[in-house]
């Protein structure tokens, strides 16, 4: 029988700054899936790597006075160290500067050109350097800025190659709406409405304004657009159009590409179109998750709100970190990272829940039987239902893993952990231990618990691969006992199993003390980030002021304090919020493009600065009488400027 294969990929990361916990999510999630599939007997290929070309890297290298390759080499090493630290079992690490990848991309570009999918023209459009993306006017946000990061775009004109994407629009729409390609499916509507229904425009796929990219072989001066370069990694790593690997037949099409929401568009539209143009089969699934936010904001190095995964791993162990991020993030939604939630989660699920189950079971086997269970048995009515629950776990987890729903899979496993702890309370082994006549019953209870721990730890091992071997040692399980096929069977451990008490698996954390320490680390990071930021701003971004105005010009603008009374999202818009304000003048309604950064309930009751004499406009058909003041943040976010609560509404700001 042919071997079952499974090919899973993470995005390839920009080595433009050190990795943070946000970067870890996709990689840890893919690693867990890869390990789960390996456990199920699949021949797995798990690919990750780095995306090393582009203007941004060229600029960063220049700032640091090194060549782009020297610059990326240093950061790639940090990524690799982190993956090792997080126990990531990738099979291949691709760098887009690797020769085999360059060879493939050049041949892919040439084939697309030869087949007539790519043509030469002139580009004139709005370009966002940080996102490396061109945008059409209709795609820009309300302020004419990049719709992804909301930073200003620049008008660029250059000779360029274009990829004709519109011939594939119908097939792509069907792929997104009629198949299980995109997970979760709810994201398909957004893509179809925002990109396909408005007409897919040809994609500019070459650049002449910088050098750090893969050269187009047949036109000197042109380098391949970073996304064509980057997306091709998924097949160049298999040896597509290069002689370095021979895995294409075996692993393509990919089973799962996992990405975060900001790069979904490239994977849901451009990548399928490229594959269609190359006459290649399409990947089976694109799993899209949200961002890990920190106290409500997207994690960003420049804000300093980044939690260093090395620091966290050092304090709690990499498995606890892996568990926490996997358990918090539901596919499709953002997940908010807070030290408090993390520590409470580690304490409740790992220290009190699973850790306690293992240590109590092993300790009782030692205390009452010197570590080796006697072979006499006495079953009771409560056993059957408990055993059935434990035995059902693997099938339920399988189902969730098939659908890439890791959070749900972990919830199921931890329900079984709770059930096992409840079984201890029901059977009261400490009472049985006092009565020598109950020895067979006690041995049965402890054996059932050890079997539950064996199954639970086996199922947890893809998610927490570092600690589980220690659990197996403690419960006397061999590698065979925790094989996948044995995780839906009972009575696998020998009847007279011998346990061996070990160290505490997950020490309980003192919440208050720990939070205080983590906060001081973050504060230090913020200070460092701030000073680094001002340094780099000095050298790279010159602030360009608008033309001078007089005090009379300024006096024309009325800025007043107002209080948000009500706030709701504007229907059919993911950007706009509609706010009802008490402005001290009878009240008014204002529409503001901040829905991506604030939930309505975060604004109600707050005082803000209102541009009060702005001519009314209609946004998405809703009248807006003025504007609320906000500022862009360095990570592409946006913050409303709030006013102290004791300043009366209507006060004039000057
Ligand atoms: N180089 C491109 C991907 C090319 S794939 C053919 C890229 N790189 S990235 O380094 O900027 O981001 C890699 C992935 O990390 C993206 O999916 C991105 O959304 C994700 N994340 C970055 N910060 C994150 C969080 N705070 N939370 C979750 N994912 C985060 O995009």
Residue nearest to atom 9 of ligand 1 (CA): 13
> Are 356 and 478 within one domain?
yes
Residue 468 lies in a domain: yes
Tens of pLDDT, residues 361-398: 999 999 999 999 999 999 999 999 999 999 999 999 99
Mean pLDDT, all residues of the chain: 91
Residues 474 and 360 in one domain: yes
Domain that holds residue 571: 551-653
Residue 51 CA, closest ligand 1 atom number: 1
Report if residue 476 sits inside a domain. yes
pLDDT at 419 over 90: yes
d(CA 518, CA 309): 12
Share of the chain above pLDDT 90, in %: 67
pLDDT confidence of residue 550: 81
Out of 222-236, 289-303, 549-563, least confident range: 289-303
Please report the atom of ligand 1 found closest to the CA of residue 266: 6
Most confidently predicted of 18-22, 189-193, 450-454: 450-454
Query: Which of these three, 470, 486, 502, is where a domain ends?
Result: 486
Confidence of residue 540 (pLDDT cuts 50, 70, 90): very low
pLDDT at 542 over 50: no
Residue 435 resides in a domain: yes
Classify residue 519: in a domain, yes or no.
no
The verdict on 643 and 565 lying in the same domain is yes
Token pair, residue 241, equals 């159009």
Domain co-membership, 472 together with 589: no
Whether residue 482 sits in one domain with residue 353? yes
In a domain, 413, yes or no: yes
- For residue range 392-402, list pLDDT tens digits in order: 999 999 999 99
Residue 644 lies in a domain: yes
Picking from 486, 507, 538, the residue at the C-terminal end of a domain is: 486
**DSSP codes joined into one string, 193-256:** IIIITT-PPPEE-EESS--SSPBPTTSTT-EE-HHHHHHTHHHHTTTTTSSS---HHHHPSPSE
Residue whose CB lies within 8 A of the most ligand 1 atoms, among 54, 129, 262, for a mutation test: 262
**Is there a single domain that holds both residue 366 and residue 482?**
yes
Contact 72, 59 (CB under 8 A): no
Nearest to 288 by CA among 313, 316, 260, 327: 260
For range 355-366, the mean pLDDT: 98
In sequence order, the 6+-apart residues with CB closer than 8 A to the CB of 591 are 570, 576, 577, 578, 579, 619, 620, 622, 623, 624
What is the atom index within ligand 1 of the atom nearest the CA of 10? Answer: 5
Please report which helix (H) or strand (E) contains residue 272, including its range. Answer: helix 271-277
Residues 458 and 558 in one domain: no
CA of 24 to the centre of ligand 1 (A): 10
User: Is residue 557 classed as helix, strand or coil in its secondary structure?
Assistant: coil
The reply to whether 474 and 595 lie within a common domain is no
> Based on the structure, what is the number of domains in the chain?
2
Asked if the structure places residue 602 within a domain, the reply is: yes
Task: Answer left, alpha or beta for residue 428, where phi above 0 means left and psi between -120 and 50 means alpha.
Answer: left
Lowest mean pLDDT among 314-318, 323-327, 367-371: 314-318
Residue 231 near ligand 1, beta carbon < 6 Å? yes
Q: What is the pLDDT of residue 637?
A: 74
**From the alpha carbon of 262, which atom of ligand 1 is closest?**
19
Pocket test for ligand 1, best of 263, 266, 270, 332 (most atoms within 8 A of CB): 263
Residue 431, domain member (yes or no): yes
450 shares a domain with 559: no
**pLDDT for residue 294 is more than 90:** no
Q: Please, which pLDDT band fits residue 297 given cuts at 50, 70 and 90?
A: low
Contacts of 395 (CB under 8 A, 6+ apart): 488
Q: What is the pLDDT of residue 295?
A: 63
Q: Cα angle at 204 between 198 and 207, to 5 degrees?
A: 155
When pLDDT is cut at 50, 70 and 90, the band that residue 8 belongs to is very high
476 and 568 both lie in a single domain: no
Q: What is the DSSP string of 100-155?
A: HHHHHHHHHHHHHHHTTSEEEEEEEEEEETTTTEEE-GGGS-TTSS-TTT----EE
- Confidence bin at 30 (pLDDT 50/70/90): very high
Pick from 10, 16, 22 the residue to mutate for probing ligand 1's pocket: most ligand atoms within 8 Å of its CB.
Answer: 22
Nearest CA to ligand 1 atom 23: 22
Alpha carbons 101 and 107: distance in angstroms, whole number:
10
Ligand 1 pocket test: which of 21, 260, 283 has the largest number of ligand atoms within 8 Å of its C-beta? 260
pLDDT > 70 in the chain, percent? 95
Query: Using 50, 70 and 90 to split pLDDT, how confident is the model at 139?
Result: confident
Residue 23 CA to ligand 1 centre (angstroms): 6
Are 482 and 559 in a shared domain? Answer: no
Whether the predicted pLDDT of 541 surpasses 50: no
Determine if ligand 1 sits within 6 Å of the CB of residue 13: yes
260 lines ligand 1 (CB under 6 A): yes
The answer to whether the beta carbons of residues 182 and 188 sit under 8 Å apart is: yes
The CATH number of the domain holding residue 624 is 2.40.50.140
Higher pLDDT, 6 or 64: 6
Domain end: 447, 463, 486, which one?
486
Q: Are residues 466 and 365 in the same domain?
A: yes
Three-class SS state of 431: helix
pLDDT of residue 476: 98
């Amino acid at each position: 029988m042919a071997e079952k294969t499974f090919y899973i990929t993470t995005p390839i990361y920009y080595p433009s700054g050190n990795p943070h916990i946000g970067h870890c999510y996709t990689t840890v999630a893919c690693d867990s899936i890869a390990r789960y599939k390996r456990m199920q007997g699949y021949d797995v290929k798990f690919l990750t790597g780095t995306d090393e070309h582009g203007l941004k890297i060229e600029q960063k290298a220049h700032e640091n006075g090194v060549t782009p390759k020297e610059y990326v080499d240093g950061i790639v090493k940090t990524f690799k160290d982190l993956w090792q630290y997080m126990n990531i079992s990738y099979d291949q690490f691709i760098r887009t500067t690797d020769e085999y990848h360059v060879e493939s991309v050049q041949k892919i570009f040439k084939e697309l050109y030869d087949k007539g999918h790519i043509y030469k023209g002139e580009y004139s459009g709005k370009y966002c350097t940080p996102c490396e993306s061109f945008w059409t006017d209709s795609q820009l946000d309300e302020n004419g800025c990049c719709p992804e990061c909301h930073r200003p775009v620049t008008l660029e004109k250059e000779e360029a190659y274009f990829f004709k994407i519109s011939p594939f629009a119908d097939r792509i729409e069907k792929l997104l709406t009629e198949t299980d390609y995109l997970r979760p499916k709810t994201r398909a509507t957004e893509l179809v409405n925002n990109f396909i229904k408005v007409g897919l425009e040809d994609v500019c796929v070459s650049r002449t304004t910088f050098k750090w990219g893969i050269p187009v072989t047949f036109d000197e001066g042109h380098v391949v657009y970073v996304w064509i370069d980057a997306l091709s990694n998924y097949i160049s790593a298999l040896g597509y159009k290069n002689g370095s690997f021979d895995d294409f037949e075996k692993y393509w099409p990919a089973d799962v590409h996992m990405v975060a929401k900001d790069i979904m568009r490239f994977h849901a539209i451009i990548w399928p179109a490229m594959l269609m143009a190359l006459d290649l089969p399409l990947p089976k699934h694109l799993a899209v998750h949200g961002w890990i936010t920190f106290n409500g904001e997207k994690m960003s190095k420049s804000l300093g709100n980044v939690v260093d995964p090395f620091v966290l791993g050092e304090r709690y162990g990499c498995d606890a970190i892996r568990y926490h991020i996997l358990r918090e993030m539901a596919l499709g939604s953002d997940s908010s990272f807070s030290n408090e939630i993390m520590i409470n989660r580690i304490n409740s699920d790992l220290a009190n829940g699973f850790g306690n189950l293992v240590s109590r079971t092993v300790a009782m086997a030692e205390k009452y039987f010197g570590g080796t269970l006697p072979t006499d048995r006495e079953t009771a009515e409560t056993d059957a239902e408990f055993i059935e629950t434990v035995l059902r776990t693997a099938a339920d987890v399988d189902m969730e893993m098939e659908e890439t729903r890791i959070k749900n899979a972990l919830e199921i496993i931890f329900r079984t952990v709770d059930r096992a702890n409840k079984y201890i309370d029901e059977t009261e082994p400490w009472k049985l231990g006092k009565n020598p006549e109950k020895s067979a019953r006690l041995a049965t209870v402890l054996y059932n618990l050890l079997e539950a721990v064996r199954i639970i730890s086996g199922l947890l091992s893809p998610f927490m691969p570092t600690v589980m071997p220690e659990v197996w040692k403690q419960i006397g399980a061999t590698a065979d006992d925790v094989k996948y096929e044995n995780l839906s069977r009972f009575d696998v451990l020998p009847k007279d199993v011998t346990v061996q008490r070990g160290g505490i698996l997950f020490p309980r954390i003192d919440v208050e003390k720990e939070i205080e320490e983590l906060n001081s680390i973050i504060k230090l990071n913020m200070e460092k980030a701030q000073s680094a930021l001002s340094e780099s701003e000095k050298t790279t971004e010159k602030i360009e002021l608008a033309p001078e105005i007089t005090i009379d010009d300024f006096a024309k603008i009325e800025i007043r304090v107002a209080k948000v009374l009500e706030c709701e999202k504007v229907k059919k818009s993911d950007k706009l919020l509609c706010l009802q304000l008490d402005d001290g003048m009878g009240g008014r309604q204002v529409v503001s493009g901040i829905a991506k950064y604030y939930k309505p309930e975060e604004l109600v009751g707050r005082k803000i600065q209102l541009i009060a004499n702005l001519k009314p406009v209609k946004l998405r058909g809703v009248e807006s009488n003025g504007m609320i003041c906000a500022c862009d943040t360095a990570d592409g976010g946006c913050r409303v400027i709030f006013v102290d609560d004791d300043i009366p509404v209507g006060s004039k700001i000057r």
